[in-house]
Structure 1
Amino acid sequence: MKATTNPFTRGYTQLSYRRVLLVTYADDCPPSYQTLHTSQEHLQDHEIQLFPCVFCDSFTLILEGQSVPEELSEQCQSNGQVRDVLYEVRAVDDGKLIHVGDTPTAEGAQALIRVLSFQTGHYSRSWEISTSHLTPRAFERLQRFAESSTQIGLEFECFLLTDSDSVGCKLYNTPWTDENLLPTENITAAELRQQQLNLGLPESLVNVLFLASQADIRFLVFDPSAPVLENLPLLHTAPKLSIVGPVSPHSSAL
């Protein structure tokens, strides 16, 4: 199933950092953010900061005190000076690589990534959403699976919530991607999807489970009275409530 935006995704993904150099050159030009050539990545910050440099669109070289091949330095037509060394934190948001912020040290960047990635816990890995995102047939099929003592397998199992008309799903080995499934389960995401369909799972249910899995959701509860999730298709009459973003402890993303 193709989707431009996964409605289960919350916050930044694929957080990373890199060292960048704040370089000044011509008086009438703004500072430029550059990266070192791979041959000089071993240099410590104090061996870079406030040193003169040469650079091009692809990389920067520190010449003072360094042995640089002439054919490499000749690629750099601009002269400048490294005014500062920064550690840029980047992330993917809505499929696009964005700049999150800068820190003065690698340790600071790593700490920021730990905070933003919630490595001390998992943000929005449990969701309660409206059954309106399933066809009536799909929800009935899910209820029957939950009532049965038979293990479904295929990377999830379901259960009934006895005090309501809700059905929960526990997803395993998320995200359901080739990169994650092949090493552990020796199966591709497409093969898993087809096996679920072959088992008799309606396509509307498989679609929702796959979207949730790709956002690394582990628990998904379908409740007739729960809010609908924005940007997730409605397949029959929906309640008026809606989830539109990060939620409070009393709303649907737990």
Structure 2
Amino acid sequence: MRLRPCCSIVTKPAWAVQRLLVISYDDCPLSYLPLHISQSHLPDSQVERHACIFCDDFVLITEGQNVPPELHAQCPSRGIVRILVYAVMAEEAGKPLHVGDTYSEEASRYLAKLADIDTPTRFLFVAFRIPYSPAVGVKLIATPWTDENLQQVEGITAERLRREHRRKGMPESLVEVLHLVALADVRLLVFDSDAPVLNGLTLYDE
């Protein structure tokens, strides 16, 4: 994310990406929960469409996995993991904020690659690695990405910028998140897989 030239730096609270499992069970609404830390290493292929047990705080995959009895006893509900989402979240003014969802880590890998090279100027953002952390930061330029502002600063429309991002192979999920964040005039975004879960966060289907 780059900053608009000749403007003061405005930073928002750190943003984070949380891996959540979408669980269906009985005739109840879908539940969104994280994997228990003991299974956080499991790849998506060993989680999606697999049987699981869960409680209010976490999920444990039972299909193909050995679950310790003490953890099994904490999970009274059974279900199926339908899909995984990577929720982009933040906290602003002391309140949890849900920015959007993506359905793979492709966007994070894309950003990590950009962080190791010079991001093309016309992207209107710069990706960078954060030392001693797995997090990747993005500095946005010329926000908000509205037609009015982009025409004035860069001589382009928001849709043209979207097309440029897609033309360069940017994952659609990352395009959506960056443009949503830039539209809100956020200047600094951090994708951090180690960020803690935000208590009370409301989640929505994409």
The normalised TM-score by structure 1 is 0.40
Higher relative contact order (CA 8 A, sep 6+): 2
The normalised TM-score by structure 2 is 0.49
